[in-house]
Structure 1
Amino acid sequence: MEIRKVTSQKERDDAIYVRMIVFVKEQHVPEDEELDQYDETAIHFVGYVQDEPVAASRLRYVDEYGKLERICVRKEFRGKHFGKMLMEEMERQLQQDGYMKAKLNAQTHAIGFYEDQGYEKLSENVFMDAGIPHVAMIKEFE
């Protein structure tokens, strides 16, 4: 998979396309919750396999954290480590931009995936986001 930091409208549209498939169609997140005011200022990433958009995410800076958000891989492309590749690219970007902490809100079914990437739960508190249970997780870089 080739990961691109979004620099064009087509790449941005491709990232949104992947998010719509995964979050809106597959997970039934309302479209008006999936697309929000942060999309305008976030750094977006999109992953391609033979020019087909298959993965997407966004990165925002909040306080002293790089906040990793909207991490998704289309169902038929899962199990190929594309999610891990996307995470590593976002982590490279935030460290390049001078941040040494990453934070994310993980869907509870994906906690193990994020733990495998070095993230730790901030607490056992589960909260709902778009009708899906989540936990906050953090990773610090040296």
Structure 2
Amino acid sequence: MKILHTTDTTNQIYQDALSIRKRVFVTEQNVSLALEIDENETKTVHFVGYVNGQAVTTARLLPEKAAFHVQRVATLKIARGHHYGQQLFTALEDYAVAHNKPALILGGQDQALGFYEKLGFHKTERPGFLDAGIPHHEMYKQLSSGQVPKG
């Protein structure tokens, strides 16, 4: 899988990310488009994974003081079960380390907590919460300070 990223909301990578998000969150999960597209679009780094030129998975990173906040993680239904999400998170972690952010934090949908736990994330002490009407938990992953970015 080829993973590209951008901060430019006028280019094709961002458009591909938005297309995946609309299919997964708006169409499949009935999240309002007004909630899905938010004030952070221009503040985040948008990542898209491509298989044979087809955009299949996406996430974005919002910079915070000591971490990146992982948001809008989505994989197209036809591409699930192929470990594309795992490959995407490797790229997110490499990017974070390369940009001197020693940790990742995210609000994971409860139905996806097992996926995030397999990637080394742990629930924080924050109580569960609803985001767009969907149960979530805050999760955190400390990245090795000695980790060397790949590629």
Instruction: Please give the TM-score of this superposition, normalised by the length of structure 2.
Output: 0.90
Per-residue CA deviation, residues 101-142 of structure 1 (Å, 9 max, x unaligned), is: 110000001111101000000026210000100000001122
Paired residue for 1:84?
Answer: 86
Cα offset for 1:63? 1.9
Shift >3 Å, 4+ stretches: none
State the one-letter code of the partner of 1:82: Y
Q: For residues 1-142 of structure 1, what are the structure 2 equivalents within 5 Å?
A: 1-6=1-6, 9-123=11-125, 125-142=127-144
Q: How many residues align?
A: 142
Match of 2:147 in 1: none
TM-score normalized with structure 1 length = 0.96
**Root-mean-square deviation over aligned CA pairs:** 1.2
Structure 2 contact 93–143 (Cα < 8 Å) conserved: no
Identify unmatched segments of 5+ residues in structure 1: none
